[in-house]
Structure formats: structure tokens, C-alpha cells
Amino acid sequence: GAGVSQSPSNKVTEKGKDVELRCDPISGHTALYWYRQSLGQGLEFLIYFQGNSAPDKSGLPSDRFSAERTGGSVSTLTIQRTQQEDSAVYLCASSLDSGMTNEKLFFGSGTQLSVL
Amino acid sequence: AQSVAQPEDQVNVAEGNPLTVKCTYSVSGNPYLFWYVQYPNRGLQFLLKYITGDNLVKGSYGFEAEFNKSQTSFHLKKPSALVSDSALYFCAVRDRGKAAGNKLTFGGGTRVLVKP
């Protein structure tokens, strides 16, 4: 596609349920990021995939959060046993960045997660 | 560890007046620096970046930013603000000294309100 695609755009779930958020990056982009943005707040880094390197998971807030990137393309962020504090907009971004360059990030429109 | 500080949560300015959004950073090596903007109900968009060379970087929509190594700052500026510049602005840094796998770290964001 022309841009970074995220689905669903909105997700309402009950506390304790598991959710999966999907990101389809721009074709050919080697780097993929997940960030979280709480209402009116900044961007909280979650996880970073770069080519075939081991992902940087240093931003995942708890072991309830995990992410994978299959075939170097589509990524899924999974939140298990959701809590109300997980409510936020989850943003995905991709870039051509090889890690040794400085390409700009292209962001998706995000998934608004609401945990009731 | 790398970090970014945006000391102002909100900046108010009258249309036609100069706009400045402050950003300071901390990295172990030399930085790549970026500004992104988030307009209401829209995704994050790249504005400009500093890589090397001229300390004054020009970007989209008439914005520019000045890299000051001694002050570790990268303030965003626009000589004459428009009402349409009202948005959430994010500064970001990446340590150029790192090998592949180094992530982009964002500041907490500054909300700009331009009044007519």
C-alpha cells in the first residue's frame, strides 16, 4: 500500500481480555516501530524491529505485552489480560532506515484501544 | 541512554508572530535530530531533520530548526505563525554513533495554539 496501515482503527475490549493489533508497513521498509500515545501525552517507545536483528524490546511496559514481525513485514502487537491503563493510541511506524542512516519515519493512523 | 526534553507543554502565540518550540537532547555520541508534527485527527508527519553540516535546517510548511551543539538544543522556529500551525509537535533524537538497531526517542510533545 501507499502508507503504513494499522488495524483495527478502534478496539474496545473488556478488562482481562487479550487483544491483537496489526501493522502493515510500507513495502521495503526494514525498520518498524511501535509507540504508545496516551490521551494528550507524548510518544512512549514500545518495541523496534530492524531487519534481521533481534528486536529492541526495552520499551515494553510488562510481560503482558509482546510483538512479532513475520517475514520482515507485517507486525502484530499483542496485549494479554488487558488493563484499563492499557487504554491509549498504539502507533506503528516504518522507515527505510538500516540503522546506519537517518531516514524519516512514516506513521500509521494508529489503533485507539479502550479497555473497559 | 538517549533522551529528549521539551520543557513546554503548551505554547500560545498570536497569528503572525514568531513561533519557537524548545527541545534539548542527551546522547552519548553525536545526534541525528528530528521534528514531527501531529495535526488534530491526523497522523504524525515528518517536518525536518538535522544530520550534519549547516546548523540551520529548513523543513516543511516554513519551519526551521537550529542545531546548537554546545547547548544540546534543537529548537523549532517559524518566523510568522499561522492558525493552521496549531498542532502537537514532537522532537526526536537518535545517536549516530550507534550501530544498526538504535531506536528513535521522542520527547513528550509541545502543544502549539496559534490564536487569530
State pLDDT tens for residues B11-55.
Answer: 999 999 999 999 999 988 888 899 999 998 788 999 999 988 889
Q: Can you give the pLDDT at residue A72?
A: 77
pLDDT averaged over every residue in chain B: 91
Q: With an 8 Å Cβ cutoff, is A100 touching chain B?
A: yes
- Name A101's Cβ contacts closer than 8 Å, sequence gap at least 6: none
Cell of B48: 525536518
Residues of A in contact with B42 (CB under 8 A): 109
Domain of B107, in residue numbers? 3-115
- Of residues A47 and B102, the one with the higher pLDDT is A47
Give A46-59 pLDDT, tens digit per residue.
999 988 888 989 89
pLDDT at residue A98, rounded to an integer: 60
What per-residue confidence (pLDDT) applies to B100?
40
Q: For residue B40, with 0-12 CB atoms within 10 Å meaning exposed, 13-18 middle and 19 or more buried, which class applies?
A: exposed
Q: Per-residue pLDDT for B115 more than 70? A: yes
Number of domains in chain B: 1
A108 touches B at CB < 8 Å: yes
**What Rg do the C-alpha atoms of chain B give, in angstroms?**
14
Q: Where are the domains of chain A?
A: 5-101
Specify the CATH number for the domain of residue B71: 2.60.40.10
Give the class (CATH, top level) of A5-101.
Answer: mainly beta
Q: Does the distance separating the beta carbons of B49 and A109 come in below 8 Å?
A: no
Which of B44, B52, B74 would you mutate first to test chain A, the one with the most A CBs within 10 A? B44
- Residue B74: per-residue pLDDT: 97
DSSP per-residue codes, B21-56: E--EEE-SSPEEEEEEEE-TTS-EEEEEEE-SS-SE
